[in-house]
Amino acid sequence: MELRVISHPLVDHKLTVLRDRNTEQPIFRRLVEELVTLLAYEATRGVRVHETAIETPVAPTVGTKLDSPAPLVVPILRAGLGMLDGMLRLVPTAEVGFLGMIRDEKTLEPTTYAERLPQDLSGRQCYVLDPMLATGGSLGEAVKFLVGRGADDITCICLLAAPEGIERIQDLLADLDVPCTLVVSAVDERLNDRGFIVPGLGDAGDRLYGLAD
């Protein structure tokens, strides 16, 4: 898996505000969307395109259009939903699938509880959205699920990653003969004993949608 850590002053600024425990929920949501759009700009550098002839008001020329089938964006429920609008702002013609995964708070292992995806993803480029790459289990299983359906090019977009999560997902995907890329705004220090990223930004789902304990 290729790792891309996006270095840009605006990315760093928005991430700093997201980390702040005093950032209110509406601002947090908006900043997640804005940050994802910036990350998606880099994540889609390899999106498949083709040349096409068009007529401008002045003269004929050759431009670029996205290939068909359209890219498939797959947010991992529930926190990944907070990243969807930011991604679609950049790629509005993308199709959207959903994958529901939950992590057992004791074992830290993921379980798939819902999915809404095409049965055949052959020839599809997929973009997986998950705010936090912590233990790496959920994201790794999501990628394997998509490959099992035939996806042949997968890019994962995360706000933050822990070194332990990056190492685990590389191990999980080592045997897959499918190009995979991980795009993040920062790699943090470590995981704590609860499987949370340190310094991180807390539970992204709770900060997006509430329902914290």
Q: Is 204 annotated as a binding residue?
A: yes
* 78 labeled part of a ligand binding site: yes
Q: Are 78 and 205 in contact (CB under 8 A)?
A: yes
The C-alpha R_g of the chain, in whole angstroms, comes to 18
Q: Is 111 annotated as a binding residue?
A: no
110 appears as a binding residue in the annotation:
no
195 assigned binding-site residue: no
CA-nearest of 163, 67, 173, 167 to 128 is 173
133 is in an annotated binding site: yes
Distance CA 93, CA 195 (A): 36
Q: 130: annotated binding-site residue?
A: yes
39 labeled part of a ligand binding site: no
Annotated binding residue 152? no
Task: State the amino acid at position 119 in one-letter form.
Answer: Q
134 is in an annotated binding site: yes
Q: Does 179 belong to an annotated binding site?
A: no
Q: How far is Cα 71 from Cα 47, in angstroms, rounded to an integer?
A: 8
User: Do residues 140 and 168 lie in contact, with contact meaning Cβ atoms separated by under 8 Å?
Assistant: yes
Is 210 annotated as ligand-binding? no
> How far, in Å, CA of 134 to CA of 185, rounded?
14
CB 181 within 8 A of CB 43: yes
Residue 199 labelled as part of a binding site: no
Residues in binding site: 78, 103, 130-138, 197, 202-204
Residues in binding site for 5-phospho-alpha-D-ribose 1-diphosphate: 78, 103, 130-138, 203
Residues in binding site for uracil: 197, 202-204
